[in-house]
Amino acid sequence: MARKLYMILQIIYNDIREVVLSPAYSTMRELHLVVKDPAVMPCSYYDKVEDAAQASSTILDLTKRIMDILRESLCV
């Protein structure tokens, strides 16, 4: 079980690292642009940074995946 969880979390870690190293996320941090769900934000919220909406969506999706994995591992 630990090996399976480790492998899944390693993949997610690599995905997170890719987002954190992206130019869009770096610019978002510089501008103090908070990660929010693009589905509920006006389009203009992310206009300052190219690919900011995509970076936010990716971060939110990764967070949901992590929570689901942790929830599943507690039920086993």
Residue 34 CA to residue 40 CA, distance in Å, equals 13
List, for residues 17-37, the tens digit of each pLDDT value.
999 999 999 999 999 989 988
Residue 69 CA to residue 8 CA, distance in Å, equals 8
Q: Which two tokens stand for residue 23?
A: 């130019």
Query: What is the value of pTM for the model shown?
Result: 0.79
Sequence spans of domains, the chain: 18-75
List, for residues 43-70, the tens digit of each pLDDT value.
888 898 999 999 999 999 999 988 998 8
What is the model's pLDDT at position 76? 66
Q: Phi/psi at 50 (nearest 5 deg)?
A: -65, 135
